[in-house]
Structure formats: C-alpha cells, structure tokens
Amino acid sequence: MSKSKITTLDNLARTRLSKHFFLRDFLFSETAAVHGINNIPDDLKLAVAAGTQLCEQVLEPIQNVWGRIHIRSAFRSCEVNQLGNELGANCASNEKNYAGHIWDKRDEKGNMGATACIVIPSYLDYYEKTGDWTSLAWWIHANIPAYKHMYFFPNLCAFNISWYEDENSPKSISSYITDPNTGHKKRILTAGVESEYYRDIPLAERYAACEKII
C-alpha cells in the first residue's frame, strides 16, 4: 500500500462523529483483517451522516450513564459483509444489512441507518452472575428513544443496537440468550409490542436491576 493511500485512510479514520467517537472506532473487522480487505465506506458522506446519528442519539447517551462502551463490530463495507455472509459469520445478506451494519447504503425504502455491536463493561459483572440481559434491554428502551432495534448475544452480553432514519418504524428487541424470566429466547418486543410476559409489568420494574448498578 502506498504512503498516499495510508495517509488518505488515516485522515478518513479521524473523522469525528460525535463528542467521544471517531470513524476509526467503527472500522475494525476481524473478517477484513484476516482476509486483507479494507473495510472503508464507498459513500463516505452517507456513512458519516448515518454514523453521526447513531453516535449522537444512541451511543453517547448510553455512555453518558453507563461509562465507556466497547465497540465489538460496527460498519461493514459491502465486500466485508458479503464475505461474512458466505462464511456463515453471523452476517445477514447485504440487502438485509443496508442501513444496518452497511452504513453507506440506503435500504429499499430509501432510508439511512447504522448499527453497532457494543458491550457495556459496567453491566457485565451483573450479567455474568445472573444471565439477565432483559433489564438492560428495557432500560435502553425506556431511556434511549432514538434506538430502533436491539439483538443480544451470549458472549459478554454484547448486542447490536441500531439507529434508523424513519422514526415511525416499529422497534424490536431480540436475543440469542435465554430470557431468565421466561426460559425461552423469543422476542421481548415485536413491532413495538411487548411479549405477553412483560405486558402487564410496569416499565420501570422491568429494568429495576439497572438502577442498582448505575
């Protein structure tokens, strides 16, 4: 790689998305690193616009309360996401990831969006003792109105969280982790509607455990 190419990539990575986050924070990909692919946006302007909204409206408010968050995975170029899909590395098809992990492509409705997979270290000890991911999910649902989707994973209680341009599209909360309250892995929020178990529980009670941690 030429020096000019390195300089260009370095300058791109320094793009500031919000008070605490820069584009560099979201570009690392194990898939890209192993296969020698540059995980960079084709449409930088769109990627920055979508990423800025994710950072300012979703990630900064979470970090302001919970302390530093860890970015596990975020932006994927079409090339990186396609390869991840082909390898069975937990990547949906490119079309399904437009306005999701693929920040620099609008979806079929013409909307932009952005997704990051994050870990909240200050919640991790509680999660490892209890297996309870739902308290955090409901806290975010109650306190971060700009999120659109969440999807939780067993390792480190990492979860995908999305911002999406259409504010009226319904929210959802899904998980690969068994819900300790119900014993299953069904969605706890589908198209903006709580699952039957949670429907009659006041929202503040659903995330009461978080109040003891924050």
Q: Is residue 91 part of a domain?
A: yes
User: Does residue 9 carry a pLDDT above 90?
Assistant: no
- Write the pLDDT tens digit of every residue in 91-137: 889 999 999 999 999 999 999 999 999 999 999 999 999 999 999 99
pLDDT of 1 higher than 60: no
What residues contact 209, with CB distance under 8 A and at least 6 apart? 126, 130, 132, 135
Pairing of the two strands 113-119 and 70-73: antiparallel
Q: What is the pLDDT of residues 61-86, one digit of tens each?
A: 999 999 999 999 999 999 999 999 98
Q: What is the pLDDT, as a whole number, of residue 12? A: 82
- Does residue 8 fall inside a structural domain? no
**What's the number of domains the chain is made of?**
1
Give the rounded distance of the alpha carbon of 211 from its chain centre: 22
Q: Confirm whether 148 is domain-assigned.
A: yes
What pLDDT is attached to residue 176? 97
213, 197 Cβ separation under 8 angstroms: no
Q: Which domain holds residue 158?
A: 15-213
Q: Does 157 reside within a domain?
A: yes
* The pLDDT value given to residue 4: 62
7: in domain? no
Q: Residue 144: is its pLDDT beyond 60?
A: yes
- Phi then psi for residue 90, to 5 deg, are 65, 30
